[in-house]
């Protein structure tokens, strides 16, 4: 649930320390809850997380949110939109304070055209995300909330993630009321 990608982090660090590129790469700080990508709007930059945790979520028209994933060190944002030349798929906001590298779409496209290493990294990352996203979709559709919550709590503990109840509910795609009920169910064993 909290994805990270060390290879990407090394990649962007190398790029950043290369004199030919350093001036095209910015480092930005974001405060907790700052939303830096908005569903449906144009994407101006590609981001790679240097430090901290972001969440990536859909806001549906009925007012409910669904958290797709939590992204940590080395995760890239905006690449899907750049590849498909489309508006932003979902919202992205800072869960902790965040430090990100940002590069322009143009540079990203140039790199994609000539750098096989970046292509490989992207393919691996997208393939991994497909695996996560699709297995989770299947699991959440076919099992009860209790199962989903059990898995979520396990992952949260393993990864030492601090999560608000709102975020947990949005990750499971259920209401707060249902989450509270399920949590209560757990304390009974």
Partner DNA sequence: TGGAACTGGGGACATTTGTCCTTTTTTACT
Partner DNA sequence: AGTAAAAAAGGACAAATGTCCCCAGTTCCA
Of 6 and 160, nearer to its own copies (C-beta) is 6
DSSP bridge partners of 70: 2, 55
- Which helix (H) or strand (E) segment holds residue 26: the answer is strand 25-30
Residue 177: name its binding partner from DNA, its own copies, none (Cβ under 5 to 8 Å by kind). DNA
- DSSP annotation of 52: S
Q: Which is nearer to DNA, 103 or 182 (CB)?
A: 182
Q: What DSSP string runs through 59-106?
A: E-TTS-EEEEEEE-TT-EESHHHHHHT-S--SEEEESS-EEEEEEEHH
Q: What are the residues whose beta carbons fall under 8 Å from the beta carbon of 178, sequence distance 6 or more? A: 145, 169
Query: What, of DNA, its own copies, none, does residue 182 touch, CB below 5 to 8 Å by kind?
Result: DNA
What is the x/- site pattern for its own copies, positions 103-142, by CB under 8 A? ---------xx--x--xx-xxx-xxxxxx-xxxxxxxxxx
The reply on whether position 82 binds DNA by CB under 7 A is no
Determine the straight-line distance between the first and last CA of the chain, rounded to whole angstroms. 24
Q: Is 68 in the site for DNA (CB under 7 A)?
A: no
Sites of contact with its own copies (CB under 8 A): 58, 60, 62, 64-66, 68, 79-80, 83-84, 86, 89-90, 112-113, 116, 119-120, 122-124, 126-131, 133-143, 172-174
């Amino acid at each position: 649930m909290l994805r990270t990608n060390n290879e990407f982090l090394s990649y962007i660090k190398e790029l950043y320390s290369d004199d030919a590129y350093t001036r095209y790469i910015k480092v930005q700080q974001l405060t907790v809850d700052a939303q830096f990508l908005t569903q449906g709007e144009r994407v101006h930059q590609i981001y790679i997380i240097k430090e901290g945790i972001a969440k990536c979520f859909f806001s549906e028209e009925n007012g409910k949110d669904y958290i797709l994933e939590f992204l940590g060190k080395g995760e890239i944002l905006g690449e899907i939109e750049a590849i498909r030349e489309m508006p932003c798929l979902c919202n992205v906001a800072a869960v902790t304070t965040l430090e990100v590298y940002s590069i322009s779409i143009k540079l990203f496209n140039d790199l994609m055209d000539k750098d096989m290493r970046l292509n490989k990294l992207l393919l691996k990352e997208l393939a991994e995300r497909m695996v996560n996203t699709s297995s989770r979709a299947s699991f959440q559709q076919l099992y009860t909330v209790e199962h989903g919550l059990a898995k979520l709590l396990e992952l949260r503990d393993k990864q030492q993630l601090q999560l608000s109840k709102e975020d947990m509910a949005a990750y499971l795609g259920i209401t707060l009321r249902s989450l509270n009920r399920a949590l209560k169910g757990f304390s009974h064993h």
